Amino acid sequence: MVLLVNRIREARKLTGITRAELARQVGVKPSAAAQWEQTGGTAPSVRNLIKIASITNVSFEWLATGRGRLRLDSLSEIPAVTREDFAHNLFEEQMLLLARDTPVKWRDPLVTFMRAIVGKRP
């Protein structure tokens, strides 16, 4: 069975990106991506595995378990998640986490406030 570290490396190389670029796109430090490809290193979280699969256009099942097909067949399979389903940078991630923790009574006023800041109307 192919180890997770090898599957991550293979997916990254198939895409033609460096570890540093993968780390940037996932939203982690380059040292984290290096750890993912080292035997005995740390494994990415499921959330980051989903991002890696999306970035490298490989099947999440294959990446996580080694089972199934490596590549998604774009004509017959639709990935469960896409890169657009995730925060694109640290600011968006922080805002999402804060939004989830916002009490219900403050959500509408907060949306109104944010729209005013960015100049968007409802």
pLDDT tens digits, residue range 7-51? 999 999 999 999 999 999 999 999 999 999 998 889 999 999 999
- Based on the fold, state whether residues 20 and 73 are members of the same structural domain: yes
Q: CA 117 → CA 11, 16, 39, 121, distances in Å?
A: 40, 39, 47, 10
Residue span of the structural domain in which 111 resides: 87-118
- Based on the fold, state whether residues 24 and 67 are members of the same structural domain: yes
- Based on the fold, state whether residues 25 and 70 are members of the same structural domain: yes
- Based on the fold, state whether residues 71 and 94 are members of the same structural domain: no
pLDDT tens digits, residue range 59-71? 888 998 888 888 7
Number of domains in the chain: 2
pLDDT tens digits, residue range 49-107? 999 999 998 988 899 888 888 876 654 555 566 666 777 778 888 888 888 899 999 98
Residue 37: give its domain's CATH number: 1.10.260.40
- Based on the fold, state whether residues 67 and 112 are members of the same structural domain: no
